[in-house]
Structures are given as structure tokens and as C-alpha cells.
Chains A and B, each alone.
Chain A
């Protein structure tokens, strides 16, 4: 360990940081059940991978890795937009960001896994009318976060 620390910053250091980011992302992804945080952890993993790309590109002296990272960033941006939109829809349906509420896709006949300590539910909000109205919408209560 000391050896690595003593060395001038090189490929190994970058790779170590990248691996660290990736593993932190995995741990976060597996440990959290708030959908937004899980998403953020996934982003973290992507950044770890991107770091690897950049490090190898630098090490080999070409631009292929850099190019990949540009694509990666673009994909991550799109992903963020879609994922956040999906999360929003899911939140509106269940009034919660807890991912364990979405067990509907399990095999038929299986009992759902019951959460011992569920996240507190958001208070029911007044639904907007489904048809668009000409004037301004009804007054909304101030948004509160329950994360």
C-alpha cells in the first residue's frame, strides 16, 4: 500500500479510484431502496467506468477511451432524463419512492416480501383534474421531501 502511495500519480492510481467509485456505486445500489438514490449510485458506477476509460486512454496515448467517455456522458444524460421521469410516474402512483413496493413482476403464486421497516408514505396529495383546464391549476401544497 505504501508503495502505491509513494509512486507518482500514474495509471494504477486512476484505476484504483475508478474501482473505488464503482464498488461504492454497487454497495449504494444494493443497500438503498430509495429509487432516486439508487439511480445516483448507478451514475456513480458509470463515472467509475468512465474514469477507467480515461485512464487507459491516457496510458496508451490514444483518444479512443476519451471518445467512449463522451458517448458515456451523453448516454448518462439521456438515462438521467428518462429515469427521473419514470421515477416521477412511479412516485405518483404509489406515493412513495420505495423500490420494494414494486414487486408486481414476481412469479405468479409467490408471496410478496414484506418490508419490516417501510419508508414513511408521503401524505396523499390532491390530484389535479385529468383534463387540462384553460386557467391556472388549483393551488398545490408546498412540496415536502420524505427521503
Chain B
């Protein structure tokens, strides 16, 4: 019923769409450039759904695979044959439709958001290439192909962060994102090399996982750690997280798709894929869990005080990704009673799944706000938007509820599973204390998450109506990035108001239908998808049938207290946010003043950017300066000196050319004589 070769179409169609859009977009498609992308995404989405249906029975290995020929191969004693190998198994089967569905919805949203942007074709072209690379990454059956997709999404991310390259800040952010994730990519590449050479020079992921079980502990730890370094870079885990907040310089739909829902989860996907073998190294699991925990709590603490709506969401993404890594780190198999591998993997992937929907929804809502407010996203300058933008308000509220993990919305089901997994891991032998601490860290993070999400929600949508002057200045055309200082100053003069507030809400209005429609599609998905798959065990049935895992309906109810605790923490967070930002806003100011040091740490992101700059960037700059100086002062001068030898010689011989014909004739005759003498008597002279 399903031809496996069609698997190759899933990444191929968006790639073709990207090529078509980039080649023909600027001249012919122009404002219709979104059509190839949306068409390709819908087609690929349908193909992936059919493919999942045909994955086979519950009993056997549920997968479809297709080998579409050789990409490249090498010669030698250990030849490398990299083929176009695609495989759809439950893990990728969860990711692919999710990616394509969200890509479709966000592409539709983008048609409204990016309307009349001069780079419209470029935007959709790169967007298509991103979708192609992401599906390639997820569907790849050999690890080189996975790496190709991995780098592909990195490049597209770079291009889209720097989409408005006229802005120096966007350029800088794009470069930073590329460089920081590159550090991780080097780790991933080294990890791939280690696995490849340790596992009998195979590249197929299932074979690798199977053979890696026999590796010595230290070897496995090192290889796994290097893979995790790659995941840290891509998924913005501490200390390689610094690129993600800056990545918000890109267009907001890009943030929604790439920096919230799909690309940043590639690291989680990678580790989940290799979890059956990584679990054999408990130390590695502990490292993963601790890094995840640090990221989760750190990002949540930073998000508490940020004033930029998109940055709050970015830190929230980091925090949730930390959650997923915590869950993966809880996949212990050294617990005598029960192996947690499957449970942990399902928890992480389930959270990835629900998070993708509600975080995409939150970002799109933020994008809708930005669009209506003339690209102003500062929470100090907007307020009371629920009267102005009712649909966006509903969308943001739904996303916030899901993110905060309030029962029965989707965040609850997945976050709860993670906490249960962590709690179950803390009942094992040794290291239980660390996992106990991590469980509490997760709970506190849940409370903080609820607080900062609803802080943003209340600040933006409640209170008195505050609309920035930019919202009127440009007629909601979404071209805030084109505004000039001139425009701003004129408006300030007219309003006589430093913030340019206006209390006339009638002029600002909701985003157009093309943007609110995707929001309305995502609202039920974000709210209900957790309840649809979580308590019904559908997710477990589906993901547990992946090879290397097993069905795990084990009763972890012994730790149901965490569910209750997370509810308490979450509701407390919302309540505090309500009190501080709606009921008694004066209280927030006084708390801000009394918590001086903590507030400063949080708003300055714990000075991590500065610390990392001091520790790594400055030494590298000094090294670069030294190398440059060495190059210029030593090597260049040596080369110059060599180059001066012929000139010097020429200077010495120049007087020979004196213009006297007799002299030339004499020199010629003498030279000829010497030559002839050597020819005639040379052998006798040099015997």
C-alpha cells in the first residue's frame, strides 16, 4: 500500500520548493513565493501520515526504510559508503508529521507577517530548505546523512536569524548562533568518528546502536559525551546556550519554527535515538541530567526579569529543553527493579511533542502582537492588549496555560511524565540524591515557568491599554525594521510622551485573518494534544515500539505526588504573577528594589555572556592577534626578504647592459669560448 521509496520525497519536495523559490522567486513568483513551500509541506505531511500508517504491526519492528542509492563512497581499507538511507520508525514517525504540520501552519502565518517585505522570496526559499534539512535529519538512517541534515538546519537557521541583514544586531546574532552551535557540531563530528571506528566502521544508526553495546565503558562515555556536546550546541544547553536568546533577532515565525519547535529539539532527538546504548554509561546519564537541570533552572531564573516578550519565550524554550534532557538523563537501566530507558525517552519525546505545539503558538502570538504593535515587543511599552487583540489574547493564554503545565492542558501530561521519570530514577541505587535534587529542581522550575509566563501574559494583555507609537506610525504593515530614527523623533514630538503611549485603542487592531487563522488552528492542538496522547498511553504505545525500546506500562504511580506538587507550584506561580502584575503592581516594584542583587543577576542573565566572553572569546582574540602579528612581522618579512634577492642580483648585473655593441659581442664570444672549451675538454678537466 505504501511504497517505501516515497520516503525520499518527504525531504525532497521541500528541497525542490526551496530551489524553485530561490531561483524563480525574485523574478516571477514575487508575492506568491509561499506557494511552493506550502504545497510541498502539505504533500510531505500527507506522505508522512500514510507512511506511519504502513509502519507494520505492533509485534515486529515498526519501521519503513528505503535506500535510495549511494551519495558518495571512498576507497581504502575501511571504505565509507554513504547512501541516501531513509528510515521511518516511531521516533522519527513522531517528529516528521509534527515538523511538517507546524511548518505548514507557520508558513501560512508568515504570509501575513512577512507581507510586503522585500525579501519575501528569499524568506520562503530558505524556509523550504530548512524544512528539507530538518526532515532529512529526522529521517536519516545513517549518521552521515543525519549530520548533513544537522548542518543544513544550522545554515538555514543562520540565514534566517540574519534575515534582516541591514541590522548589525541581526548580523551579530546570526554569526554568534553559527559559531556557538559549531562548537557543538565539532563535538558531534568527533563523536560520530569515535562511534564509527569503534563499531566496526558502520554508519547505519541501528547497527551502530547495536554494536556500541560492546564498547568499553570509557569509550562509550567519551563517544556519548561528544554526541551530547553536539546536542548541547544545537539545543542551547548550558554553557552553549548563549546563542538562542540572541537568535530572536530573526523574524518571529522563524523563531517559532526553528528556535522553539523543531531545530532546537534536534539535540533531544539525537540523544533519545541513542539512549538505548547511552544508558549503559550511568555517569553520562548523570551529566546529561545535570546539564539539563542547570539549564532548566538557569533559564527560568533569567526569564523572570526580562522585558522582551520574545526573549522570555526564548529562555522558556531553553528551560523546557533542559527539562527534556533531564528526562533523558533519568533513563537509567541500572535500577534493579525496572529499566527506565523507555519511560524516560517517551517522557522527553512527549514533552518535545507538546512543547513544539504550545511554544509555536506562543511565538506566533508574540509575532501577532509585534505585527500589530509596529514591531515593539517591550513589555514596558505594551499593555491591556486583550481589549485590542482578542484572538491573539486567547491564543497566548492557551499557550501560557499549556506551558505552565496546568491540568488538563498538554504541558501538564508531558511535564508530569518527566517529573515522574526523575522521581523514579531517584529510587535507584547510588546517585539517588542527585536525582532527588533534580526532581525538586524540576518542580521549582515548573513554578518559575508558570510565574514568568503569566508575568508576560499579564503585562502584555492586562492592565491599562498601552500602545506604542510605532503601531500607528506605519499602518500595521509590519515593517518596523524599516523605520528610521527620523520617523520616531517626529512621532515623539507630536505625542509629547517619552514612551509614545496612546490610550486610544480604536486605532490599533487585531492582526489580519491570515495570521489569526493559524493561531486558531494551533489553540486546540496546543491545549489538547497532551490529553489526547498522554493519559491514553498512545504515545507510549507508539514510541515504545521503536527498536531498542520496549513497551513500558509499568506503574510509576508511586510517585504521583510529583504531579500534585507540580500543580501546586504552577498554580502558585500564576497566583503570584496575578497579584504582582494585576492586583498590586506597586508590590512588584518594591520587590524588585529589595531583591537588588538577585534582580541584577537575573536581568543581566547571570553575566554568563560576559563570563564566556572573558573566558573564551578574549583569549581567542588575543591568540588571533598574536598569530596575525607573527604572520605579518615574521613570515611576511621572511618572504619579502626572499623576494628581494632577485632584485638585488639584478641590480648587481644591470651595468652589464651598457649599450656598447662591441661589449656584447665580446661577452658573447667569451661565453661561447668557455662553453666550447668545456664541451671539448670538460671530461678531461673534471675527471
Chain B positions 628-675 with a Cβ under 8 Å from a chain A Cβ: 654-662, 665-666, 669
Task: Please indicate the chain B residues that have their CB under 8 angstroms from the CB of A99 in the complex.
Answer: 661-662
Q: How far is the CB of A20 from chain B (nearest CB, A)?
A: 16
Tell which of A55-63, A105-113, A139-147 binds the partner: A105-113
Q: Is the beta-carbon distance between A113 and B661 smaller than 8 angstroms?
A: no
Q: Is the beta-carbon distance between B666 and A30 smaller than 8 angstroms?
A: yes
C-alpha gap A79/B662 in the complex (Å)? 19
Chain A positions 92-120 with a Cβ under 8 Å from a chain B Cβ: 99-100, 102-107, 110, 112-113
Q: How far is the CB of A107 from chain B (nearest CB, A)?
A: 4
Interface: A26 (CB within 8 A): yes
Which residue of A is nearest B654, CB measured?
A107
Q: Is the beta-carbon distance between A26 and B669 smaller than 8 angstroms?
A: yes
Chain A positions 64-86 with a Cβ under 8 Å from a chain B Cβ: none
State the main secondary structure of chain A at its contact with B.
loop
Q: Is the beta-carbon distance between B659 and A103 smaller than 8 angstroms?
A: yes
Task: Please indicate the chain B residues that have their CB under 8 angstroms from the CB of A110 in the complex.
Answer: 654-655, 657-659
Q: Is the beta-carbon distance between B657 and A107 smaller than 8 angstroms?
A: yes
The one of A29, A33, A103, A107 in contact with B655, judged by C-beta atoms closer than 8 angstroms, is: A107
Which residue of A is nearest B672, CB measured?
A26
C-alpha gap A38/B660 in the complex (Å)? 13
Task: Please indicate the chain B residues that have their CB under 8 angstroms from the CB of A102 in the complex.
Answer: 659, 661
C-alpha gap A105/B660 in the complex (Å)? 9
* Chain A interface residue count, Cβ-Cβ cutoff 8 angstroms: 16
Task: Please indicate the chain B residues that have their CB under 8 angstroms from the CB of A112 in the complex.
Answer: 659
Which residue of A is nearest B666, CB measured?
A30
State the main secondary structure of chain B at its contact with A.
helix
Task: Please indicate the chain A residues that have their CB under 8 angstroms from the CB of B654 in the complex.
Answer: 107, 110
Q: How far is the CB of B670 from chain A (nearest CB, A)?
A: 10
C-alpha gap A103/B659 in the complex (Å)? 4
Q: Is the beta-carbon distance between A29 and B665 smaller than 8 angstroms?
A: yes
Q: How far is the CB of B646 from chain A (nearest CB, A)?
A: 16
C-alpha gap A145/B657 in the complex (Å)? 32
C-alpha gap A106/B501 in the complex (Å)? 85
C-alpha gap A127/B137 in the complex (Å)? 93
Q: Is the beta-carbon distance between A106 and B658 smaller than 8 angstroms?
A: yes
Which residue of A is nearest B657, CB measured?
A107
Q: Is the beta-carbon distance between B666 and A106 smaller than 8 angstroms?
A: no
Chain A positions 26-46 with a Cβ under 8 Å from a chain B Cβ: 26, 29-30, 33, 38
Chain A positions 1-38 with a Cβ under 8 Å from a chain B Cβ: 26, 29-30, 33, 38
C-alpha gap A112/B654 in the complex (Å)? 14
Chain B positions 669-686 with a Cβ under 8 Å from a chain A Cβ: 669
Q: How far is the CB of B464 from chain A (nearest CB, A)?
A: 86
Taking A30-B666, A30-B669 as contacts, is the C-beta distance between A106 and B657 under 8 angstroms?
yes
Task: Please indicate the chain A residues that have their CB under 8 angstroms from the CB of B657 in the complex.
Answer: 105-107, 110
Q: Is the beta-carbon distance between A113 and B666 smaller than 8 angstroms?
A: no
Task: Please indicate the chain B residues that have their CB under 8 angstroms from the CB of A26 in the complex.
Answer: 669
C-alpha gap A65/B616 in the complex (Å)? 84
Task: Please indicate the chain B residues that have their CB under 8 angstroms from the CB of A100 in the complex.
Answer: 660-662
Q: How far is the CB of B87 from chain A (nearest CB, A)?
A: 76
- Most B CB atoms within 10 A — which of A29, A100, A106? A106
Taking A26-B669, A30-B669 as contacts, is the C-beta distance between A113 and B658 under 8 angstroms?
yes
Q: How far is the CB of A106 from chain B (nearest CB, A)?
A: 3
Q: How far is the CB of A18 from chain B (nearest CB, A)?
A: 15
Q: Is the beta-carbon distance between A30 and B665 smaller than 8 angstroms?
A: yes
Q: Is the beta-carbon distance between B662 and A30 smaller than 8 angstroms?
A: yes
Q: How far is the CB of B669 from chain A (nearest CB, A)?
A: 6
C-alpha gap A33/B660 in the complex (Å)? 10
C-alpha gap A134/B627 in the complex (Å)? 82
Q: How far is the CB of B661 from chain A (nearest CB, A)?
A: 5
Which residue of B is nearest A107, CB measured?
B657
Q: Is the beta-carbon distance between A103 and B665 smaller than 8 angstroms?
A: no
Task: Please indicate the chain B residues that have their CB under 8 angstroms from the CB of A38 in the complex.
Answer: 661
C-alpha gap A112/B658 in the complex (Å)? 7
C-alpha gap A106/B662 in the complex (Å)? 13
Q: Is the beta-carbon distance between A107 and B665 smaller than 8 angstroms?
A: no
Which residue of B is nearest A108, CB measured?
B654
Which residue of A is nearest B669, CB measured?
A26
Q: Is the beta-carbon distance between B660 and A103 smaller than 8 angstroms?
A: yes
Q: Is the beta-carbon distance between A107 and B666 smaller than 8 angstroms?
A: no
Task: Please indicate the chain A residues that have their CB under 8 angstroms from the CB of B662 in the complex.
Answer: 29-30, 33, 99-100
Q: How far is the CB of B297 from chain A (nearest CB, A)?
A: 79
Task: Please indicate the chain A residues that have their CB under 8 angstroms from the CB of B665 in the complex.
Answer: 29-30
The one of A29, A30, A107 in contact with B658, judged by C-beta atoms closer than 8 angstroms, is: A107
C-alpha gap A106/B660 in the complex (Å)? 8
Q: How far is the CB of B425 from chain A (nearest CB, A)?
A: 87
C-alpha gap A123/B658 in the complex (Å)? 28
Q: How far is the CB of B81 from chain A (nearest CB, A)?
A: 65
Task: Please indicate the chain B residues that have their CB under 8 angstroms from the CB of A106 in the complex.
Answer: 657-660
Which residue of B is nearest A31, CB measured?
B662
Task: Please indicate the chain B residues that have their CB under 8 angstroms from the CB of A33 in the complex.
Answer: 662
C-alpha gap A33/B662 in the complex (Å)? 8
Which residue of B is nearest A103, CB measured?
B659
C-alpha gap A99/B663 in the complex (Å)? 11
Q: How far is the CB of A10 from chain B (nearest CB, A)?
A: 21
Q: How far is the CB of B435 from chain A (nearest CB, A)?
A: 87
C-alpha gap A49/B562 in the complex (Å)? 114
Which residue of B is nearest A38, CB measured?
B661
Q: How far is the CB of A40 from chain B (nearest CB, A)?
A: 14
Task: Please indicate the chain A residues that have their CB under 8 angstroms from the CB of B659 in the complex.
Answer: 102-107, 110, 112
Task: Please indicate the chain A residues that have their CB under 8 angstroms from the CB of B660 in the complex.
Answer: 100, 103, 106, 113
Q: How far is the CB of A102 from chain B (nearest CB, A)?
A: 7
Q: How far is the CB of A48 from chain B (nearest CB, A)?
A: 14
Task: Please indicate the chain A residues that have their CB under 8 angstroms from the CB of B658 in the complex.
Answer: 103, 106-107, 110, 113
- Most A CB atoms within 10 A — which of B654, B662, B666? B662
Q: How far is the CB of B220 from chain A (nearest CB, A)?
A: 75
Q: How far is the CB of B27 from chain A (nearest CB, A)?
A: 57
Which residue of B is nearest A29, CB measured?
B665
Which residue of B is nearest A42, CB measured?
B665
Q: How far is the CB of A16 from chain B (nearest CB, A)?
A: 16
Which residue of B is nearest A109, CB measured?
B654
C-alpha gap A110/B656 in the complex (Å)? 10
Which residue of A is nearest B663, CB measured?
A113
Closest 3 pairs (CB-CB, A-B): A106-B659, A103-B659, A107-B657
A sample of 7 inter-chain contacts (CB < 8 A) reads A26-B669, A30-B669, A99-B661, A100-B660, A103-B660, A106-B657, A107-B656
Residues of B within 8 A of A (CB): 654-662, 665-666, 669
| 8 extra A-B contacts, CB within 8 A, seeds A107-B657, A110-B658 | A99-B661, A100-B661, A102-B661, A106-B658, A107-B654, A110-B655, A110-B657, A113-B660
